[in-house]
């Protein structure tokens, strides 16, 4: 699944706008990338 499909699915399932979904995905991606860089467990 690519990012655009993820944004669409998330918006549909959570009943939020595409923009809200896109913002969530972008922030979540940044948080994950920072955790990976710091070698922090993401979801144990």
Q: Nearest to residue 3, comparing CAs of 15, 21, 20, 16?
A: 21
- Write down how long the chain is: 44
- The two tokens of residue 21 are 């979904």
State the average pLDDT for the chain.
93
Q: What is the pTM of this model?
A: 0.80
User: pLDDT value at position 40?
Assistant: 82
The CA distance from 2 to 22, in Å, is: 12
**37, containing H or E segment:** helix 18-37
Name the pLDDT band for 43 (thresholds 50, 70, 90): confident
Rounded mean pLDDT, 11-38: 95
The pLDDT of 28-35, averaged and rounded, is: 93
Could you tell me the residue ranges of all domains in the chain?
A: 3-37
Kindly report the number of other CB atoms within 10 A of residue 5's CB atom.
9
């Amino acid at each position: 699944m690519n990012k655009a499909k993820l944004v669409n699915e998330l918006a549909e399932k959570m009943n939020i706008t595409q923009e809200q979904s896109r913002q969530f995905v972008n922030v979540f991606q940044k948080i994950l990338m920072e955790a990976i860089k710091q070698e922090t467990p993401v979801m144990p």
